[in-house]
Structure 1
Amino acid sequence: MQGNLSAWLVKHALIHRSLGFDYQGIETLQIKLGDWHSIVVIYMYMVTIISAPNVPMIIEYEVCIKVFSPRKDPRIPSVFWVWKSVDFQERESYDMLGISYDNHPRLKRILMPESWIGWPLRKDYIAPNFYEIQDAH
């Protein structure tokens, strides 16, 4: 079964892989890393058209887009310039997982200190044997 975005991408010959629907019925697609930014812009366009002010009812449209990047140097183009609200989500995944977002205006740690070594939520992360407590009194 194909969802709305998948059908639109097929119609326009954009390569993707449908991963089906999750338990809530949300369409899940896998796209190539190089197509990430284009798909986001297309999705934004589709949502804008669907939720135009002259439409008499509110239409909710959700989709889960998955992009895979290499573990050694995970880099994804930032979508900050499409959605400003993604700022903290990109910074958090950088801070916790080490995913770098190309062209993000201020990609830096927001949860861990700047001096922290490693990416705490990665499966290969080795927790230090000690924690330095500063100003704990």
Structure 2
Amino acid sequence: MENNSSPESSEKIVKQNGIVSNQLSEDGITNESLGNDHIGVEILSVKPEKLYEAISTLRGYGFNYLQCQGGYDEGPGKCLVSFYHLISLGDIQDIKEIKEIRVKVFLNRDSDLSVPSLYKIFKGSDWQERETYDMFGINFADHPNPTRLLMPEDWRGWPLRKDYIQPDFYELQDAY
């Protein structure tokens, strides 16, 4: 048996950006391709200050529905992430390819945890952004109603952060 791979050919492996990432770059929107997920959906990362412009442009490309917005914590001392899953609700008879994209914004937990609200582009982001704020403390600038959604207004902290310390006792005496 002959091995056709040489050390020179293995060094030539280059990470390629996805189609949407390349198009955004051509349109002057800085982004980073994160490859594809397990089902082949392209994932890209943008800086917080470029999010609104990137999402507006993606909407112009035909990604006209915000299916999901949420957040997650990579772990203590690591980034908090605000993510967006956009799909295209085009002509239902023209399903030759699935049109969907995932966009992530990585935020240093020790600095400004603020991203622009997408409410002006997608009205459905209202409660999703409020839930992400409520659970992770990510602020959405220019949100029309930036109040807690799930937790009481006087709750301290962000319950889904991995470094969250649950209070031992939270006003249980008022329940009886």
**Shorter-chain TM band:** 0.7 to 0.9
In structure 2, what is the equivalent of residue 24 of structure 1?
A: 39
- Tell me which protein shows more strand as a share of its residues: 2
Q: Which amino acid aligns with 1:38?
A: E
- 1:61 pairs, out of 73, 94, 99, with 99
Q: Identity across aligned pairs (percent)? A: 39
Q: Matches of 1:106 and 1:89 in 2, distance apart?
A: 12
Unaligned runs of 5+ in 2: 1-15, 65-87
Structure 1's consecutive aligned runs of 4 or more residues displaced over 4 angstroms after TM superposition are: 48-53
CA distance 1:96–1:39, change in 2 (3 Å): same
Q: Matches of 1:56 and 1:24 in 2, distance apart?
A: 22
Question: 2:63–2:100: 8 Å Cα contact kept in structure 1?
Answer: no
Q: CA deviation at 1:11?
A: 2.5
Q: Matches of 2:129 and 2:114 in 1, distance apart?
A: 11
Q: Cα RMSD between the aligned structures?
A: 2.1
- Tell me which protein shows more helix as a share of its residues: 1
Q: CA deviation at 1:51?
A: 5.3
Q: How many residues align?
A: 135
Unaligned runs of 5+ in 1: none
TM-score by length of 1: 0.86
1:45-124 superposed matches below 5 A: 45-47=60-62, 57-58=94-95, 60-72=98-110, 73-124=112-163
TM-score by length of 2: 0.69
* Larger-Rg structure: 2
